[in-house]
Amino acid sequence: MQKGEKIEKKILLLSLWTGILFVVFEFLIAIYTSSQSVLMDAAYDASELLMIGLTLFLMPLFHRPISEKHPFGYAQVESILVIIKGFMMISVTLGLSAKSVEVVLSGGNQVDGGLISIFQFIIAVASLIVLVVMQRMNRSLSSPIITAEIYGWKIDVAYSLGMGVAFFASTFFEGTRLDILSPYFDQIIALFIILFMLPEAIKMILRAIKDLFLFSPEQETMDTIKDICRDILTENGLEAVFYDVTRTGRRMWVAIYFHVQEEFLEIKVLHKATDEVNKALAKQYEHCVCELIVANDSD
């Protein structure tokens, strides 16, 4: 097992076991308080655990080398996993949102805001510790699955803090004009969580679909690649005319079509430029291969 694969496995196992612990306590608090928002949090985290387990099972495929039979390796399997994860997030949130609306229409649900706020602050602090550890472990990796996992923990920290603050504030509603919102406050928070989570799930799915069909990556990535390569090409007397970038999963292939500024091009110059470009791109993208191609006059 390669070093990168070992680190990925450690990060996912850390996420899995801490996630199991969080889910158990979230379900217990959800049952005790009858809180729809805590139940939504628990259901979302439980769906995440299923994806982590599947990812751990399939991880050896992501690190298999490319071959004539599998020119992209098994990187597209990773894109499929991200799509499944995105749709799972959407289905869980939409299903629980329907339940939240049903509770609102039936007169709401009074919950212990003080207890929930304390619980959420504890979860937020614990999630932040896990997030920091995962980020430190991930410093030398370039893995879409781990990136998505770390983003999920960032969301956990953000909405646990948000829920903690919101429920703490709700304890001051009693005896005020806002007291009328108390039976509906839990459902309002749950619906805000949905609005917060859905855009990211949709964005995750769209990016994975682009990778699955081998479309070029987002403009930000294209600009970064061009910025990295431009000076190297110029120093070697080459002028880029077209960038053909393909990404799927964690693997990325860059083909740069170029014109020669001089009348002749030495092979050793081409080899030198290719080597420098690949080393520079490897610092930013771990699984990236670049080739330089002489453009036709018509290009």
**Tens-of-pLDDT digits for all 299 residues of the chain?**
566 678 888 888 898 999 899 999 989 988 888 777 777 778 778 877 887 888 888 777 776 766 667 666 677 777 787 788 778 777 766 766 666 666 566 655 666 777 888 888 998 899 899 989 988 887 766 666 777 778 778 877 877 877 777 777 777 766 677 667 666 666 676 677 677 767 777 887 888 888 778 778 888 889 999 999 988 998 888 888 889 998 877 788 899 998 876 777 788 989 999 999 999 998 888 778 899 998 876 55
Tokens of 37: 């928002």
Residue burial 177-216, b: 16+ Cβ < 10 Å; e: rest: eeeeebebbbbbbbbebbeebeebbeebbebbebbbeeee
CA 256 to chain CA centroid, Å, is: 28
* Superfamily of the domain at 3-212: Cation efflux protein transmembrane domain (1.20.1510.10)
Residue 147, H or E segment: helix 144-170
Q: What is the pLDDT of residue 24?
A: 92
3-state secondary structure of 246: strand
Q: Where in the chain is the domain with CATH 1.20.1510.10?
A: 3-212
Cα 151 to Cα 13, 134, 157, 204, distances in angstroms: 16, 11, 10, 11
Q: What is the pLDDT of residue 276?
A: 93
pLDDT tens string 57-92: 877 777 676 666 766 667 777 778 778 877 877 776
Q: What is the pLDDT of residue 72?
A: 64
Q: Where in the chain is the domain with CATH 3.30.70.1350?
A: 219-294
Domain 219-294 has CATH 3.30.70.1350: yes
Q: What is the pLDDT of residue 292?
A: 92
